[in-house]
Amino acid sequence: MINKSCSQSLIKLGFSSVILLLGMQQNVAASIETEVVAASSEATLETQLPAIAPPELPPLGGPDKFLPSVEIPISLVIKLRDRRVYVYEANALKTSYPIAIGKAGWETPTGSYKVRKKLRNPAWEHPWTGEVVPPGPDNPLGTRWIGFWTDGRDEIGFHGTPNEELIGQAVSHGCVRMRDRDVQALFEQVTIGTPVTVQH
């Protein structure tokens, strides 16, 4: 009876071991399958994600790209006695140019004004006949006009002239005549609103 009972116990133990081994094999297989699936998903994910380029860094130097521009204020002072216009940059004298001014009875008005108009290659209208002279070498205004005074009908400003030998004299009808190369340079330095002071 003992032998039979032992045999039965051994048989049961054998079956239990087999079942346990089968269960372990199933767990191992499932674990391997999970790892394979995970690895496959990672590979698929890697192949699907686009390549991201590293950000482009700005080159060293060139602070103007990142800092706001600072405009240095320009102002003009006409000194009639000197027959010159002085260009100031932040209250420091930058340069000056010789000028011709208004003749007796047509004096260039003194006072404080601002640049109100800028024209390249302006046409000129004769104040009495109304004749219009187009831009060109015979135009009394030259190649630039920088207006700073008006009474609503007439205007006064800086302009070039084909008669540069008269620069330094009081010969105009109130305008400020300049050599053409000088008025072109001045044109590039001023903007609408630039202060213009006319002194004796």
Question: Catalytic positions, please?
Answer: 159, 175
- Burial group, residue 26, by CB count within 10 angstroms (0-12, 13-18, 19+): exposed
The residue with tokens 């640049």 is: 115
Strands 195-199 and 111-114: antiparallel
Question: From CA 26, how far away is CA 34, in angstroms rounded?
Answer: 12
Cα 183 to Cα 179: distance, rounded to the nearest angstrom:
6
Whether 135 contacts 143, CB under 8 Å: yes
